[in-house]
Amino acid sequence: MFDIERWQEIFDTIRKNKLRTFLTGLSVASGIFILVILLGFGQGMQNGIAQEFEGDAATSIWVWTQTTQKEYKGLNPGRQIQFRNEDYNTIVNKMDLNIENKSKFYRPRSITTTYGNDALIYQVLGTTPEVQFIENESLLAGRFLNEEDEKQVRKVAIISAKIKREAFKKVENPVGEIIKISNIPFTIVGIYKEKGGDQEEDRIFIPVTTAQRVFNGADKLDNLSFSLPPVANFDDAVAQSIQFKNKVETFLKQKHSVAPDDQGGVGIYNPMEEAKRFYSLTGNIKLFFWFVGVCTIIAGVVGVSNIMLIVVKERTKEIGIRKALGAKPWAIIGMILHESIFVTAISGFTGLILSMGLLEIIGPNIEVDYIVNPSVNFNVALATVFLLVLSGAIAGFFPAWRAATIHTIDALRDD
């Protein structure tokens, strides 16, 4: 039942001790505010890291050639390893690996690219159709490379949205236009958009067979890339990618006589391993944020408990009179608890509203490396406030119990 006299007493006490109540409430509100802001930035870091890895397929593996750093089997260090089509075919067809998409790359050397009289200072890369899925590329116009382009060694090219914007300003749709690579005409058949952004759009793609045959590449390859099938959870995906990486690395090092412990010769990048390290780091940071925030809240709750002890001390004689007039112990406890819960609840929800509002306003506008749209789950934040209110009730209970157990005569004698 709503007891208006009880609420009048609470507000009278607050009015008489405005500064004390304000400082107590401030400590509680700041605890919730700090916790929500810290959790928001922890989520922002996780969002930023996820964005860093979304440019390519999450389960992609990248392999490239390097220079050996160690002597092995009588071979001197400093050898430049050269991949061949045979290496790629063995990995894809003979190693019993679970591969979803695969691609190979050859970069022609000492070439010039022009459109009309304008030089195009972009990288020309021979590749296969499946690179579109490995690199998460979307088509804006035309088509991507296909198997017939490879089989027939067609002179076709795919350009990026960035190249269209920079080099084809006067052309509404460059599909069908002719560019020349070392004075050999190539027809533009498509325009792609890279999810990773402009930094990944400095490349012109042509069929790998065309790049090898037309530009004297023979069967040479510079890079290999693969994507693995999705699995049930993140840990399984990491384990699958590590197993794949180890098998491919072992095969290539044995094939090209590279020492097993040589950090050169064969380079392999596994984004899943990097993602695991970053997610572990952000998980630890979020735990630290929780620790700091909870400690701040505990400090606020302790402050509430101390204030309630002071309130009990100040109202000892009043409590004695109430007990002499027949007030039950639980009525005394309820009187103290109401004030404790009220101060904690108002302060907690104030801190929650201010912190959520701040994240909502500034979160989408933050442009910092590895931090994207700091936010926090509202249900988590709300549950934290209710936990805080419960803590405030517990903090107020012990002073209230002390008040209820004071002997009536002792209370009336208190000065």
Residues 123 and 205 in one domain: yes
Nearest by Cα to 150 from 174, 180, 122, 127: 127
The 3-class secondary structure across the chain, one letter per residue, is CCCHHHHHHHHHHHHHCHHHHHHHHHHHHHHHHHHHHHHHHHHHHHHHHHHHHCCCCCCEEEEEECECCCCECCECCCCECCEEHHHHHHHHHCCCCCCCEEEEEECCCCCCEEECCEECCCEEEEECCCHHHHCCEEEEEECCCCHHHHHCCCCEEEEEHHHHHHHCCCCCCCCCCEEEECCEEEEEEEEEEECCCHHHCCEEEEEHHHHHHHCCCCCEECEEEEECCCCCCHHHHHHHHHHHHHHHHHHHHHHCCCCCCCCCCEEEECHHHHHHHHHHHHHHHHHHHHHHHHHHHHHHHHHHHHHHHHHHHHCHHHHHHHHHCCCCHHHHHHHHHHHHHHHHHHHHHHHHHHHHHHHHHHHHHCCECCECCCCCCHHHHHHHHHHHHHHHHHHHHHHHHHHHHCCHHHHHHCC
C-alpha neighbours within 13 Å on the C-beta side of residue 10:
16
Between the alpha carbon of residue 52 and those of residues 56, 262, 278, 279, 314, the distances in Å are 9, 29, 11, 12, 59
Question: At 91, which amino acid appears?
Answer: I
User: Rounded CA gap, 342 and 344, in Å?
Assistant: 6
Which pLDDT belongs to residue 314? 62
Residue 236's CB is within 10 A of a number of other CB atoms, namely: 11
Q: Are residues 10 and 138 in the same domain?
A: no
| Any domain includes 267 | no
pLDDT of residue 409: 61
Our count of domains for the chain comes to 2
Do residue 202 and residue 305 come from a single domain?
no
306 domain-assigned = yes
Among 111, 108, 66, smallest CA distance to 218 is for 108
- Give Cα 305 distance to the centre of its chain: 39
How many other C-beta atoms are found inside a 10 Å radius of the C-beta of residue 260? Answer: 10
Let me know if residue 77 belongs to a domain: no
Is the same domain home to 115 and 45? no
Q: What is the pLDDT of residue 2?
A: 52
pTM for the whole thing? Answer: 0.64
User: Do residue 161 and residue 35 come from a single domain?
Assistant: no
Regarding whether 298 and 407 lie in a shared domain, the answer is yes
pLDDT on residue 318: 65
* Radius of gyration of the CA atoms of the chain, in A: 34
- pLDDT score at 56: 47
Domain with 150 in it: 107-216
Q: Are 210 and 134 in a shared domain?
A: yes
Which of 199, 216, 233 is the last residue before a domain boundary? 216
Domain final position from 216, 243, 268 = 216
Domain presence at residue 85? no
Which regions in the chain score pLDDT beneath 70?
A: 1-3, 5-6, 9-10, 13, 49-58, 196-198, 304, 307-327, 329-333, 367-370, 395-396, 399-400, 402-404, 406-415
| 341 in a structural domain | yes
**Domain assignment present for 61:** no
Single residue among 175, 195, 216 that ends a domain in this structure: 216
328 shares its domain with 396:
yes
The proportion of the chain whose per-residue pLDDT surpasses 90, expressed as a percent, equals 35
**Does residue 208 sit in the same domain as residue 294?**
no
CA dist list (Å): 159 to 125, 179, 389: 11, 10, 60
Q: What is the pLDDT of residue 156?
A: 96
Q: Are residues 207 and 285 in the same domain?
A: no
314 domain residue, yes or no: yes
Q: Determine, yes or no, domain membership for 212.
A: yes
**Single-letter code of the amino acid located at 414:** D
Q: Based on the fold, state whether residues 130 and 31 are members of the same structural domain.
A: no
Task: Answer yes or no: do 285 and 382 share one domain.
Answer: yes
Tokens of 151: 């089989």
Q: Which residues pair with 119 in a beta bridge?
A: 114
